[in-house]
Amino acid sequence: MSEIDSNPFADPEAANPFADPSVQQARGGQQTGAGAVDDYNPFAEGNQTRPTAGATIPPPQPAQTQPAIMQPSNEPPPYTESSAQRVDTADLQKRQEELEKKAAELQRKEQEMRNMQYNERANNWPPLPKFCPVGPCFYQDFNVDIPMEFQRTVKIVYYLWLFYVIVLFLNIWASLAFFIADPDGGATFGMSIVWFVLFTPCSFICWYRPLYKAFRSDSSFNFFVFFFIFFFQFICTIIQCLGVTGYTVGIINGLTMTGYKNDGKGVSHIGVALVMIFIGLMFGILALLDFIMLVKVHKIYRSTGASFDKAKQEFSTGVMKNETVQGVAANAAQGAVKGMASQYGSNNKY
């Protein structure tokens, strides 16, 4: 039976592939594993590879990978808050309140500017009662007209004007006391009334209002008007401080009242002298404040880029826009045309 199953045409050496000398040479050093190869059955149940008895399969080793983030060799120092990083909540809250206040002020100013035009604003100064037959003559609102960075300066000048009016009023009473103590003080008393009646409105119109309008519209012409008249105000205040006889009470007239009079009565008027000297010192304080504000406003004027040429241009433009000047110029032009026409007609007769 084996003879029938055998292939008569097969090569007996080629029937066994492991009979090849190269294969046998390669298998020579692996005699130990030969049993394992012979015992391997690929058609066993479950088609599972059966390892050689007694052989152990080592567990898989995890791959050695480099971490994505390098670990520092030294731990960082503990966090400490520096003085520059300390935040004062009270300071921040105070600043926030100031910003909100300024924002509300700007919003109110914009709303007021939006609701009414400049020419339509009602005059509110001086604040007179409604039953008074004379109404306010000027419109004044620092928060609306004056830029925020100049409001404090304009308010100080306004309070300086009020202080000047009060001192002029007290000067009348001191001059009256001087006139009662000395009959030669009648001229001084009369001049004190003139000072109060004349200088109270003139100082407001001639140097305070130009300063107000200068900061309101950045007007070089109004700045020059303020400097010229306010310097004259400064000189007059110095004279009032000294107290020249027959002109005003002050330090000089007050010192003359401290001694005995030449009339032989030997009467001394210490109280009147002290009042006169006090008024002289008030005028001296006014002169000092006038000088300080004059210098301060001049510095602001230099920083705004104003100039004398700009003032002349504003003056010429303002004069030409004035309705009265325009009417006078129109009448003059019409008269000149009529004169030329009449002269031309008379020449044609000949």
Q: Position of tokens 């009242």?
A: 257
Regarding whether 289 and 215 lie in a shared domain, the answer is yes
Same domain, 203 and 275: yes
| pLDDT for the residue numbered 269 | 80
Whether residues 123 and 186 fall in one domain = no
Q: Is residue 173 part of a domain?
A: yes
Indicate whether 173 and 300 sit together in one domain: yes
pLDDT in the model for residue 218: 81
* Inside any domain, residue 7: no
| Amino acid 25: pLDDT | 62
DSSP per residue over 207-270, as a string?
A: IIHHHHHHHHHT-HHHHHHHHHHHHHHHHHHHHHHHT-TTT--SHHHHHHTTS--TTSS----H
Q: Specify whether 112 is located in the same domain as 174.
A: no
How many domains does the structure of the chain reveal?
2
Note whether 161 and 223 are same-domain residues: yes
Q: Is 36 part of any domain? A: no
Please name the amino acid found at residue 328: V
- Domain holding 114, by residue range, is 107-145
Reported as type and span, the H/E element at residue 165 is helix 151-181
In this structure, is residue 279 part of a structural domain?
yes
CA distances from 247 to 35, 141, 224, 237, 319 (A): 144, 37, 29, 12, 38
pLDDT, averaged per 10 consecutive residues of the chain (350 residues), comes to 54 58 59 51 55 55 55 61 59 84 78 58 81 84 87 94 96 92 86 92 93 88 91 92 82 80 56 92 95 93 67 55 49 58 55
79 found inside a domain: no
Give domain status of residue 41, yes or no. no
Decide if 219 is inside a domain. Answer: yes
User: 141 and 200 share a domain?
Assistant: no
Among 145, 167, 194, residue at a domain's last position: 145
